[in-house]
Amino acid sequence: MIRFRNLAEAERVAKRRLPRAIWLAVKAGNEQGWTLDENVRAFSELGFSPTVFDRPTNFDLSARVLGIDVEFPVLVSPVGAQAIHPDGEVGVARAAARAGTAIGLSSWSSDSVADVARANDSTIFQLYWVGSRPEIEARVEAARAAGAKALIVTLDWSFTPRRDWGVPPAPPSDRSISTLARLAPHALSRPGWLMGYLRRGRIPELRVPNLVTLDGRVPYFGKAWADFEATPPPTWDDVKWLRDLWGGPFMVKGISTVRDAKLCVDLGADAISLSNHGGNNIDGTPSPLRQLPYLVDAVGDQVDVMVDGGIRRGSDVVKAVALGAKAVFIGRAFLYGLAAGGEEGVYQVLQVLRNGIRETMYGIGRGSLSELSRDDLLLLNPHFFVPPTR
């Protein structure tokens, strides 16, 4: 069984195991990758002042987000196409359940919301605005029937998937001989990875069951993506309609301005997530961490404020919570664990983060998340905070 002591080890193992094209799809951000690096860099510009007296002996790491109680403030982010290991999203869901936390499930996932919700009863379904309102309504009702506890609408994708180091082959639009021939060299370059699938009697493919059409067809990723690109972006009224349709706990993901945060409050959102899509929105966007305090001050008493991007250690989670986040989402961090060791690898990632949170809080003399504040942080860069321009 694979073991690793930190996420850097998990990342190295994942890189060795995955075919190069898949690794690039997991790792890379947009264009030159400035924002991808910035998301990680921002955490290194905040520090702590450890104490040696009055250190806690008990810790309360629990949080409540979107009406869901979690044992520590780390949730699995909705990430599309987790066909990087045969365990897929169901394995990730099981790992999150074992760790005592929730999973956000993407519309672009390889496993259905029904299967994932059976594996983790704290499943949050993430919806992209793809297709017509009747199609979107059918997906919302499928998530409700499956037992999803909350709904996320993600709005921060800008269709700019250009990468200076090259773009991996587009996900398949079918299962034709020509498609299999085009992708076969990538799979054969990592025979161990491919054999992991074959031993389970399956091949890695990218159908997207949560984007099923009204006539019951399950499209391949490429076809669904073409439909996404052809769909006009949602208006504020569309998102309000979606919020009213769902009726339960509702989050808007991808917020980076005070104006947008206040609009989310106006439409009745219960939570917002500050995000630049893990460096895959507009390259040159600052880390959400730098803007977090401003948005917390603006709307934090009205909605739960979450953040994602660049979290690689438990101390990163403590920094985000100290700046006002209710909890964080992790994306690449758990994908490294999934690629390295399937369900068990994801569970190990979550345990590494949980232990890091507890160790950091011990070092700064805080026994519960509610005790954390901005006073616990040191600014190592006097220009760290970036006020939103709007």
How buried is residue 192: exposed, middle or buried, by Cβ count under 10 Å (0-12/13-18/19+)? exposed
Mean pLDDT value of segment 28-41? 92
Name the band, by pLDDT with cuts 50, 70 and 90, for residue 54: confident
Residue 200 pLDDT: 73
d(CA 298, CA 110): 37
Strand 46-48, strand 327-330: pairing: unpaired
16, part of any domain: yes
222, part of any domain: no
Residue 390 has pLDDT above 90, yes or no: no
46, part of any domain: yes
Residue 284 pLDDT: 92
Residue 203 pLDDT: 64
- Quick: pLDDT tens for 105-142: 999 998 999 999 999 999 999 999 999 999 999 999 99
How buried is residue 177: exposed, middle or buried, by Cβ count under 10 Å (0-12/13-18/19+)? exposed
Residue 178 has pLDDT above 70, yes or no: no
389, part of any domain: no
Token pair belonging to 383 = 């220009």
Q: In the chain, at which residue ranges do the beta strands (DSSP E only) sit? A: 46-48, 63-65, 68-70, 74-76, 103-105, 123-127, 150-154, 250-255, 271-274, 304-308, 327-330, 377-379
Residue 219 has pLDDT above 80, yes or no: yes
Residue 2 pLDDT: 76
d(CA 18, CA 21): 8
Mean pLDDT value of segment 181-195? 65
CATH code, 121: 3.20.20.70
Beta bridge partners of 306: 273, 327
Range of the domain at 75: 7-166+233-379
178, part of any domain: no
**Run of H or E including 14:** helix 7-17
Mean pLDDT value of segment 244-256? 97
CA R_g for the chain: 20
Tell me the catalytic residues. Answer: 277
Q: Angle CA(306)–CA(98)–CA(40) in degrees, nearest 5? A: 40
102, part of any domain: yes
How is residue 163 annotated by DSSP?
A: B
283, part of any domain: yes
Q: Which residue has the higher pLDDT, 317 or 4?
A: 317
| Residue-wise burial string across 256-291, b where 16 or more C-beta atoms lie within 10 A, e elsewhere | bbbebbbbbbebebbbbbbbbbbbbbebebbbbbbb
Residue 225 pLDDT: 85
86, part of any domain: yes
* Range of lowest pLDDT (29-33, 36-40, 184-188, 273-277): 184-188
- Mean pLDDT, the chain, rounded, equals 91
Residue 176 has pLDDT above 60, yes or no: no
Residue 267 pLDDT: 96
Domain count, the chain: 1
Q: Which residues contact 90 (CB under 8 A, 6 or more apart)?
A: 111, 115, 116, 119
Token pair belonging to 328 = 């964080």
